[in-house]
Amino acid sequence: MASGKSEQTSQGRARNWIFGRRRHPGDRIFSRLTLVFALIIVGVLLGLLVVLNRDAMPAIRQFGLSFLTSSVWNPVKEIFGALPSIYGTLVTSAIALLIAVPISLGAAIFLAEVAPSWLRGPVSFFIEMLAAIPSVIIGLWGIFVLVPALVPVETWLSKHVGFLPIFKGTILSGLNVFSASIILTFMIIPIITAVSRDAIKAVPDTQREAMLALGATRWETIRRAVLPYCRSGLVGAIILGLGRALGETMAVTMVIGNADKLSAFLFSPGSSITSKLANNFGEASSDLFTASLIELALILFVITLLVNVIARVLVWRMTSVKTATE
Amino acid sequence: MSEHGYSRRKWSNRIVLILSGVAAGLAIMVLVLILGYTLVRGASALNVDFFIHGSTPVGVVGGGMRNEIIGTLILVALGSLLALPVGLLAGIFLAEFAGPRVAASVRFAADILSGVPSIVVGVFTYAIVVRPMLSYSAFAAGVALAIIMIPVVARTAEESLRLVPNSMREAALALGITRWRAVLSVIVPGALTGIVTGIMLAVARIAGETAPLLFTALGSFWGFRGLFRPVGALPLQIYNYALSPYSDWQRQAWAAAFLLMMLVLGISILVRWLSNRRRI
């Protein structure tokens, strides 16, 4: 595989470069210095885990597992349960993935296999530009443009498909879980598209040629020879998108409605871990309140950590080492 | 597969390929909708007052975001100041000095760090800076933004350094200079375009970050009053004004969105231009 080769040459270079004749003390000092700064990155990551864990401890001790299963959030009585926020985070991310994955994979196939070469650059650029728009601007747009536009859709759905519990209920406001999911969809399309496009591009041409030589159409080639070959890269891309969706804060906070209740009805206001943090952290009046919020942050951190580790491993196996972010 | 008729296979091929184009079109449409609306609405909301006045108390029409514009510039500068030394040296380490195993773990840590939700970084910074210092501050916000910026700078610097051909390293060493001089005066200049591109992308990212500022910079009615006092920023003010019931504040939120968008777009286009030029 291409990645293995480039990895090897770079290793060879690194070995020559530092383990060669090391005469000058300046070299040793400089390489140590860069090492120290590189270790800061590792240190920050470990520090996140240690500090969040330390500061969440009062809440962890007080509530134990009931923090995850209780849906009471009462700052006055100092009882905190995170179930509605965790539920909101999972539901919005799941819906966003459900809608974003087909669109992103379609766009990735278009960019890697279908589009004429003059079109690929500009289209990639535009899709990646979507990722560069600050989340707070997407939230602003969500409040004033998307949410009003979604209300008729939601009314129609609850009238005609209302036999499903997720669509059954009275719509009080456009600021609800469904709107947040749609906003999230927009926000994760760019990353899933970009990473899966790279995965598809990394498939060797011999795969395609062999299939085409058998008389397959292009779609048959893509479906049977290309996509199976880069399956782990595609799954990695989707999981990377999931990580993004779980941690997205501003846009979600602005349109989710910020209500603390557990409801299967998608058109009712809800909350996510991130919206809970954004709304409450500044007002946390007691130590236990703050500790509970930090425990929420810790939960989010651990979930996204696992998700990202899995995604990175899958993507790394597939494509050669690319830039860290979009 | 051979059971299917040829025309049926041909049609399903055509339909799927068209659908893939539709998917790409949908993604672009979303961008056009957000971008177009923000630019049109924002441009009409801008006026001179927006740049030269501070914010007004609740209910008073007028005012602007002079303080927030300055605040954002200060925070971005502060974040860059803290992040660049770490990011660049870590990038140099990864590309030039690291043994394979150490490199893999640092690289992995950088990739994971860049995936940590920015609000978690905000909470972390609150815990390590704001709480011990007993005050929200511009400095704390700078630390939070730096944590977000470091992995991006490190990884893009590493990638660009890797693109410098080995013959340059050999040529430099053949002249008898030390390795650290070779890195600083031959390799790094050779990769400068790529490194600058990475820094610009990172700046574009932190300029619009809001979540990590919520519990660090906090926002302020006044202008910048020192590194260790709270400070306002454009994204924070967009958030506050967007949720306010006053139409004049909402107008200003759009104006601020326009400004941020121009910054981010400008950087993206510049980066694209730079990296296209590099390829030729």
pLDDT in tens, B264-276: 999 988 988 887 7
A309 at interface of B, judged by CB pairs closer than 8 A: yes
Which of chain A's residues have a Cβ under 8 Å away from the Cβ of B150? 40-41, 44
Mean pLDDT of the region B220-235 = 89
B117 touches A246 (CB < 8 A): yes
Mean pLDDT of the region B99-121 = 93
B78 lies in the same domain as B10: no
Burial of A11 (0-12, 13-18, 19+ CB in 10 A): middle
H or E element that contains A73? strand A73-74
Query: Does residue B1 fall inside a structural domain?
Result: no
Whole-structure pTM value: 0.91
Question: What is the span of the domain harbouring residue B16?
Answer: 6-45
What is the per-residue pLDDT across B179-223, written as a single tens digit (0 to 9) for each? 889 999 999 999 999 999 999 999 999 999 999 999 999 888 888
B106 lies in the same domain as B16: no
Write the ipTM. 0.92
B98 lies in the same domain as B230: yes
Residue-level pLDDT at A31: 87
Query: Could you list the pLDDT tens digit for every one of the 326 residues in chain A?
Result: 333 444 444 444 554 555 455 567 888 889 889 999 999 999 999 999 999 999 999 999 999 888 998 888 888 888 899 999 999 999 999 999 999 999 999 999 999 999 999 999 899 999 888 989 999 999 999 999 999 999 999 999 988 888 888 888 888 888 999 999 999 999 999 999 999 999 999 999 999 999 999 999 999 999 999 999 999 999 999 999 999 999 999 999 999 998 888 888 889 999 999 999 999 988 877 889 999 999 999 999 999 999 999 998 888 777 654 333 33
Residue-level pLDDT at B4: 57
B124 at interface of A, judged by CB pairs closer than 8 A: yes
- pLDDT tier for residue B6 given thresholds of 50, 70 and 90: confident
A138 at interface of B, judged by CB pairs closer than 8 A: yes
Q: Chain B interface, mutation test: which of A140, A271, A322, most B Cβ atoms within 10 Å?
A: A140
Of B20, B112, B239, the CB nearest to A250: B239
Contact: A301, B116; criterion CB under 8 Å = yes
Tell me the CATH number at B220.
1.10.3720.10
To the nearest whole Å, the CA of B206 is away from the closest chain A CA by 9
* Mean of per-residue pLDDT scores for chain B: 91
The CATH number for A26-318, chosen from 3.40.50.261, 1.10.3210.10, 3.40.50.970, 1.10.3720.10, is 1.10.3720.10
Q: How far apart are CA B195 and CA B275, in angstroms?
A: 11
Between positions 251 and 290 of A, the ones with CB within 8 A of B are 254, 274, 277-278, 281-282
B205 lies in the same domain as B159: yes
Burial of B25 (0-12, 13-18, 19+ CB in 10 A): middle
Q: How far apart are CA B145 and CA B86, in angstroms?
A: 13
Query: Does residue B240 fall inside a structural domain?
Result: yes
Strand partners, A73: A80
Of A35, A51, A144, the CB nearest to B93: A35
Mean pLDDT of the region B237-262 = 93
The structural domains of chain A, with segments of one domain joined by +, span 26-318
Which of chain B's residues have a Cβ under 8 Å away from the Cβ of A278? 119, 211, 214
